[in-house]
A and B are shown apart, each in its own frame.
Chain A
Amino acid sequence: MLKIKNLKVELTAKGKSILKGVDLSVEAGSVHAIMGPNGSGKSTLSYVLSGREGYTVTDGSVTLDGTDLLDLEPEERAALGLFLAFQYPTEIPGVGNMTFLRTALNAQRKARGEPEMSSGEFLKEVREKSRTLQIDSEMLKRSVNVGFSGGEKKRNEILQMIMLEPKLCVLDETDSGLDVDAMKLVAKGVNELRHSGRGFLVITHYQRLLDHIQPDVVHIMVNGRIVKSGTAELALEVEKNGYADMMVELAE
């Protein structure tokens, strides 16, 4: 479903190389986790996938179900079914959370030539789906992410993900700033979305999120490259020994 080939990326402003040839394939129905130390390029990968400005792709390709993503605008990628759960969701004062969500949903539907969702239908859906995440109607009415706690912001990202029903979900450090209860809620939301037609790319610094979202494949990213891939065992190994060992091992 998602195919990344030899992806090389630098920061447009500084010309600094961040990704130095990433190869990765996420099949439909599977959960891939990317772990790695700070500054390894994990978040850059998520931004490049979603089309954020400020990064220049110098080599390689990214396709989603055969469509070249790199030529598309961020909104076109979203309409194709790519979703990025932000590490730091942005606040938009004055814009109601539900208004935002419905505007997004209908923008995607329209781009795909599908009929828009009526407000009645939308309300029903959003109420039902926010229940799992323990998001109450008060939170739905507040301005997007304004005054939300860290946990509320992350749960809100997952609500958006559930409502937008993407094909490929990229979760960027969704566990950062979450306590155990909030992490369980987020994981529950993600697990309910697991589906044979959907792929996940879970980016995380720590193994603990993977206790709740069982990955099929774990990749270790160091210095802009995927240096090791394996099963869920690999994450446990990292947890136990840290990245240092692995980096030493690589250097040898």
Chain B
Amino acid sequence: MTISSVTEVMDDERSVKDGVDQETVDAVQKISSYKHGWETDIETEYAPKGLTPDIVRLISEKNEEPDWMTEWRLQAYERWLQMKEPDWAMVDYPDIDFQDQYYYARPKSMETKPKSLDEVDPKLLETYEKLGIPLKEQLILAGVEVDEEDIANRKVAVDAVFDSVSVGTTFQSELKKAGVIFCPISEAVRDHPELVRKYLGSVVPMSDNFYATLNSAVYSDGSFVYVPPNVRCPMELSTYFRINAENTGQFERTLIIADKGSYVSYLEGCTAPQRDTSQLHAAVVELIAEEDAEIKYSTVQNWYPGDEYGKGGIYNFVTKRADCRGDRAKVMWTQVETGSAVTWKYPSCVLRGDDSQGEFYSIAITNNYQQADTGTKMVHLGRNTKSRIVSKGISAGKAQNTYRGLVSMHPKAKNSRNYTQCDSLLIGDQCGAHTVPYIEVKNNSSRVEHEATTSKVDDDQLFYCRARGMDEEEAVALVVNGFCKEVLQELPMEFAMEAQQLVAISLEGSVG
């Protein structure tokens, strides 16, 4: 398979993202399917299987948490016992036995927290190197060619989470100079309790929903970001989540606070080994944007999707929500969802501040037996608030892909606007695409627009590409990348490239 693209140096720097590039060629050639399906052979210590108050206490103890945190977890646990798993999503999976899981898994070598990256177990460092995630500060994300001068501007700080713990966080001291706090959330609970207590659970309350509540009880680690007033975070921040241990759920928690007038761009990546049994991933992400602050949150979700017969894969039940708390605050979610056997995820924005803005750009690709029920909620509370939703769903094989979105204009959200565009693309005739928009407008000065299209990959387009020399899979990848362009161009460059490769890889074998 060969695909290439032009780095159109001409005058439009965005053009580099349209189409598929050289890296895709190489990546696609080397692998036949999921490329992160290998396992790191490492000694792991587990908490006993199952979920009890003792397990909750044990996790809290492992993280050396203060009492208030332990109490919060236990309260969540009590609430969770009374809750029911939601069943309204258009997904179907066998019952999950919550007592047959490990809730905590930590590499033995992480027993004493390494003081610096030099002390981290080389096997763990190798793992991230193999994933193309640099844990050395002089490096930038793999696969990106830049000249020397550019390197300084292209730094990406990484927090690497392996099973239940954070392995290391790069560029911490450089960020500290700018006043930015970027650290594992376990560390923030100990070192910045005033911030954590103020914001944790303030966007996604402990009792929000079944999975969020479960997460509140057993979350083990994740990332914490605080950007002080009027600071533009000097580099991209990112967290890379890797599930390695078997039969283990990953429950991470991310909390990002952009104080007044600040800006931060944050990237999240995730992969897991290829296994026959399904694994649970239930994360909570809370974003807080104060007055005039802006947060960009990008995800390339590439959890193991299960095999071509639907065996194995990650169950991804995630609660992500942003609160535009201050006036003129802005949050942008961009997600590329290619992995997971089952995805249940609705990154949302609460537009509380006047003139605040929320944006949601999504590509969800499902192939074989994958199921995705994903979308967003835009809750307009403040005046003159604006939201924009662009969702691209691609279905192939026997997959089902649902966009589910809520746009809600509250009585006080006068003169607010929403624009929603949902496009679905079908490859083959055994897959499905569904669009479920919910719209509530409780004032008469707001405007909501919704457009939806469903199309099939067009035989004429494929023939045109093939008549010019591309093989069928290459042609599909090109056409689909074109279909996704409006979303891809919103991603930071490093992720845009990875995302383009993923588009090609995820759809392999979907034609012919």
Contacts and interface: CB of A to CB of B under 8 A. Distances in A.
A binds B: yes
Interface of A: 50-53, 73-75, 77-79, 84, 86, 89-96, 98-108, 110-111, 116, 119, 122-123, 137, 140-141, 143-144, 160, 164
B15 A78 contact: no
Instruction: Classify chain B's interface size.
Output: 35 or more
Count chain A CB atoms within 10 A of each CB in B4, B460, B481, B486 and give the residue with the most.
Answer: B4
Interface string B460-478: 1101111111111010001
A122 B18 contact: no
B478 A96 contact: no
24 contacts: A51-B467, A73-B471, A75-B466, A75-B472, A79-B469, A89-B464, A92-B482, A94-B484, A95-B482, A96-B19, A99-B8, A102-B5, A103-B2, A106-B25, A107-B2, A107-B470, A107-B471, A107-B474, A108-B469, A111-B469, A116-B2, A116-B22, A119-B9, A123-B6
Given A92-B479, A94-B485, A95-B482, A84 B5 contact: no
Main SS class of interface, A: helix
Contacts of A51: 466-467
A141 B15 contact: yes
A93 B11 CA distance: 20
Nearest to B474: A107
A110 B6 contact: no
Interface string B196-216: 000000000000000000000
B19 to A, nearest CB: 3
B19 A106 contact: no
Interface string B1-24: 011111111111001001110100
Contacts of B95: none
A93 B485 CA distance: 9
B462 to A, nearest CB: 9
Contacts of A50: 467
A92 B6 contact: no
Nearest to B482: A94
B440 interface: no
A51 B20 CA distance: 25
A92 B471 CA distance: 16
A179 B215 CA distance: 67
Interface string B291-320: 000000000000000000000000000000
B483 interface: yes
Given A74-B463, A90-B458, A99 B468 contact: no
